[in-house]
């Protein structure tokens, strides 16, 4: 049922995980934490006294014991085996603690979807009230529901701060405890489905941190909803992408089923694995006018999915402050998803260039399925570079403006939301046929974003400039010029024009 809809996946190609990443996930630590939790439940409920009525009638702002990300002051602190802890948090505006429904979230189990009409039964959670006045989940499922409500509430409050609450209406819909049929991806993944506007958690079978407890992964999926509503939905309605005469053509939804990458020979043999990305693979496309309509479509699908996945990873990092947040749950996550410049042997977050992307879309594929799987895979490579850029920007803004990481993240997230809204408005009416002579590049996206961000410190502008210039084939010579205390990337001769 999900294949026709707009879904996004958090997974990428499973490759061998370096040994130093394995130490980040300590099953022993997590097991110890969960054992302590269960012991606490037994202790607190051991007297046999029934607290049933209190959990049944609880509503409003409710205190609950949850497993969530540790509060950290810096990224260094989070580089430990198990950056999660039990803590008492307040869930706001709960209507009913049994189904965990409230202002911020509504859950669906055994869900069905008919023409984007989501139906399902509400879950039944079980809690008891401790002597200290907070509620404690009696089982894992109840703990998952309460944790998801907490993450939804936090991300919705971020939406409010950055203005995205006008797009993401409440309560957010979350599907859990539902077996997905007719699909090759049935477990260990989370999905955002644009048609239903719902986040879907698939069954989790690994032995690490279950997906609902992973706030970074939830934030990643949560972001996809903003991109879908601000950019993707409008783009679909653009005649250039809408008119698919050939049913085998790539479609803008790009929500290609998470391919089983290890079985995709094209990817295995690809020159574009993370270790060769640094090499110059660009074609000399002197005559860009010769691009077919399909190549232009594939180019934009890949670029925009890359932007989408990249910002989603940035959202996951900004929320969890954990550069390897996916790895705590999914062991086969590739090392290219880590949000650390050093791990990529980079000084600046070099973007994947226009020619590199064109190289990929013009590759030879056996069939459409193989091509789709490869485009899906490659979009995460493009995405990680965007994510690294936004993360570095937070670091520079935090340092230069003497703000906390959270405050600097909010500034960047707000600019991203404003920028994506503008981008969506532009793309919905963009004449892509004209784009044969002027394709929008990763660099162009960063340039336009910088005009929304309005850097107030030179190092902020310098980072944007260095990232922009990472495409050495780009002929534009820009520099950071200041006017009215705002820096802008400008060609020297265009100084006056660029700062209107």
Question: Quick one: 8 or 108, whose CB is closer to Zn ion?
Answer: 8
CB of 259 to Zn ion, least distance (A): 14
Q: Which is nearer to Zn ion, 98 or 333 (CB)?
A: 333
Q: How far apart are the first and last CA of the chain?
A: 50
SS3 category, 486: strand
Smallest gap, in angstroms, from Cβ of residue 27 to Zn ion?
A: 25
How far is Cα 393 from Cα 383, in angstroms, rounded to an integer? Answer: 15
What is the closest distance, in whole angstroms, from the C-beta atom of residue 312 to Zn ion in the complex?
5
CA 437 to chain CA mean position, Å: 31
Residue number with the smallest Cβ distance to Zn ion = 8
Backbone torsions φ then ψ of 136, nearest 5 degrees: -125, 130
Beta carbon of residue 376, minimum distance to Zn ion (angstroms, whole number) = 10
Distance CA 77, CA 201 (A): 29
- Using the structure block, give the residue that is written with the tokens 């007297």: 47
Nearer to Zn ion, 308 or 398 (CB): 308
Distances (CA, A) of 268 to 35, 265, 374: 40, 5, 10
Shorter beta-carbon distance to Zn ion: residue 216 or 455:
216
- Of the two residues 298 and 309, which places its CB atom closer to Zn ion in the complex? 309
Judge whether 200 and 184 are in contact, CB under 8 Å: no
What is the separation of C-alpha 160 from the centre of its chain, rounded to a whole number of angstroms? 18
Question: Shortest distance, CB of residue 308 to Zn ion, whole angstroms?
Answer: 7
Contacts of 184 (CB under 8 A, 6+ apart): 257, 258, 260
Minimal distance, residue 13 CB to Zn ion, in Å: 14
Least distance in angstroms from the C-beta of 9 to Zn ion: 6
The residue (of 159 and 460) whose beta carbon lies closer to Zn ion is: 159
* Interacting residues with Zn ion (CB under 5 A): 8, 10, 309, 312
Query: Would you give the distance in Å from CA 14 to the centre of its chain?
Result: 18
Bridge-based pairing state of the strands 127-129 and 135-137: antiparallel
**Nearest-angstrom CA–CA distance, 299 and 378:** 11
Closer residue to Zn ion in complex, CB, 6/432:
6
């Amino acid at each position: 049922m999900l294949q026709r809809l707009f879904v996004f996946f958090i997974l990428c190609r499973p490759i061998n995980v370096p040994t130093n990443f394995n130490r980040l996930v300590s099953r022993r630590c997590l097991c110890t934490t969960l054992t302590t939790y269960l012991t606490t439940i037994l202790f607190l409920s051991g007297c046999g006294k029934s607290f049933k009525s209190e959990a049944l009638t609880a509503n409003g702002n409710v205190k609950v014991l949850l497993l969530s990300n540790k509060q950290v002051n810096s990224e260094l602190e989070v580089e430990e085996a198990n950056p999660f802890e039990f803590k008492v948090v307040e869930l706001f505006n709960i209507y009913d603690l049994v189904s965990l429904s409230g202002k911020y979230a509504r859950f669906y189990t055994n869900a069905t979807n008919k023409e984007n009409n989501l139906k399902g039964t509400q879950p039944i959670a079980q809690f008891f009230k401790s002597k200290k006045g907070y509620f404690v989940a009696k089982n894992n499922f109840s703990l998952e529901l309460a944790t998801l409500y907490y993450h939804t509430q936090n991300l919705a409050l971020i939406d409010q701060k950055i203005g995205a609450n006008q797009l993401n209406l409440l309560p957010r819909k979350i599907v859990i405890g539902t077996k997905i049929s007719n699909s090759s991806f049935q477990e260990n993944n989370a999905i955002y489905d644009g048609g239903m506007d719902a986040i879907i958690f698939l069954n989790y079978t690994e032995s690490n941190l279950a997906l609902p407890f992973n706030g970074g992964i939830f934030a990643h999926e949560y972001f996809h909803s903003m991109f879908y509503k601000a950019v993707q939905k409008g783009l679909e309605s653009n005649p250039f992408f809408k008119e698919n005469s050939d049913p085998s053509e790539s479609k803008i939804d790009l929500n290609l089923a998470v391919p089983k990458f290890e079985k995709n020979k094209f990817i295995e043999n690809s020159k574009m694995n993370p270790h060769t990305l640094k090499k110059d693979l660009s074609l000399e496309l002197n005559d860009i006018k010769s691009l077919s309509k399909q190549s232009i479509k594939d180019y934009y699908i890949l670029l925009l999915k890359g932007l989408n996945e990249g910002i989603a990873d940035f959202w996951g990092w900004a929320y969890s402050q954990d550069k390897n947040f996916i790895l705590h749950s999914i062991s086969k996550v590739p090392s290219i998803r880590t949000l650390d410049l050093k791990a990529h042997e980079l000084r600046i977050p070099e973007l994947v260039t226009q020619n590199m992307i064109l190289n990929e879309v013009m590759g030879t594929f056996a069939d459409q399925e193989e091509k789709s799987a490869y485009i899906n895979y490659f979009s995460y490579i493009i995405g990680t570079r965007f994510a690294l850029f936004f993360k570095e920007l937070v670091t520079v803004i935090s340092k230069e403006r003497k703000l906390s990481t959270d405050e600097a993240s909010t500034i960047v997230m707000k600019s991203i939301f404003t920028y994506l809204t503008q981008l969506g408005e532009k793309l919905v009416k963009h004449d892509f046929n004209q784009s044969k002579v002027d394709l929008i590049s990763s660099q162009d996206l960063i340039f336009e974003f910088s005009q929304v961000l309005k850097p107030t410190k030179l190092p902020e502008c310098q980072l944007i400039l260095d990232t922009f210039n990472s495409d050495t084939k780009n002929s534009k010579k820009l520099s950071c010029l200041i006017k009215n205390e705002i820096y802008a990337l400008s060609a020297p001769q265009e100084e006056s024009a660029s700062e209107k």
